[in-house]
Homo-oligomer: A and B are copies of this chain.
Amino acid sequence: MLNIEDILKAKERIAPYIYETPLIPLENLNELLACKVFIKPECMQKTNSFKIRGALNKMLSMDKEEVKRGVVAASSGNHGKGVAFAAKLLGVGATIVIPDSAPEVKVKGIENLGAKVVQCPLSERHKIANELSESKGYINIHPYDDYDIMAGQGTIGLEILEQFPDVDTVVVPIGGGGLIGGISTAVKSQNPKVKIVGAEPYKLRRYGESVKAGKRVKLEEQKLEADALLTQIPGEKNYPIVTSLVSEFVGVKDEFLLKAMKLLLMEGKILAEPSSCIGIGAILQGELKVDKDEKVCFVVSGGNTSLEKIGELEEII
């Protein structure tokens, strides 16, 4: 299980190695998004994504002798960069299994941290990571289906409440449920009145559909702009936590992800990767209803993107 004590311990464990990202009021967006806009910019985090928090908490919690065997991780990119960072810190080898379709900037970011990259078709990444774990003895660091990972990501929730106790709503991107599982546990156990919203790609509403079906549903593989949110099924450990604490799941189309990225960049002056703009996209799409006085904190989960991708925003109206 996961509780607030785990997250408080995670905070202590990882604090020396990460940044406490600021909580930025982005008043220029208030009118455009029809609420009071606040950003938790994990795009400004070390490795440019929140994933370093979970990876560090996991690997710093492990037995030192055990971790020396080296680690392997399946990742769409950001978790891999977090694991690569943690492995470098601990002086152990890391192999990251990443889809062929991952943005170049993520592959390079991992390689620059000294980890080995294995590319494969999207749907095979977990299978290959498991095989490498078995054949080479590497420890498999799962991107979300793990209590220590969730506890690490949950430190963002602690920071949000410390930095901005008045927050009404926290909007969090969902893939497997690691980030939102941690944040919702941290936030709800300290202030149950805060509403947590999960934003997932419209074509991969694995949480929305699972809740409807009353059990974890596996959806078909998709190619999307939301390259960090391609998980097909909610994590086993994440699912009960997330469904009990999250008030609402919204499905956001790629088109609105890119509109949101453009808005955040050109009006808000913050650069995030497409997946991380999904919460803002939910409002632009009319999928998430907010009140004009509602103080909404958008967790902008990562910023690993390229000038090339920014260039594509020219076409977006």
Contact = CB atoms under 8 A, between A and B. Distances in A.
Interface of A: 19, 22, 24-28, 41, 43-46, 48, 265-266, 268-272, 303, 307-308, 310-311, 313-314
Number of copies: 2
Given A22-B24, A24-B24, A44 B268 contact: yes
Contact of A271 (B25, B271, B311): B271
B303 A269 contact: yes
Nearest to A314: B307
Contact of A44 (B269, B271, B311): B269
A41 B271 CA distance: 14
Contact of A19 (B28, B45, B46): B28
Contacts of A43: 269
A84 to B, nearest CB: 16
A311 B307 contact: yes
Contacts of A307: 266, 310-311, 313-314
A22 B24 CA distance: 7
Given A44-B28, A313-B307, A314-B307, A272 B271 contact: no
A265 B306 CA distance: 10
Nearest to A308: B314
B24 A48 contact: no
Contacts of A265: 271
Contact of A46 (B27, B269, B272): B27
A83 to B, nearest CB: 19
Contacts of A28: 19, 44-46, 48
Contacts of A272: 269
Kindly list the 5 A-B residue pairs having the minimum CB-CB distance in the complex, ordered from nearest: A19-B27, A269-B271, A43-B269, A269-B303, A307-B314
A46 B27 CA distance: 8
Contacts of A313: 307
A272 B44 CA distance: 15
B22 A25 contact: yes
Contacts of A48: 28, 269
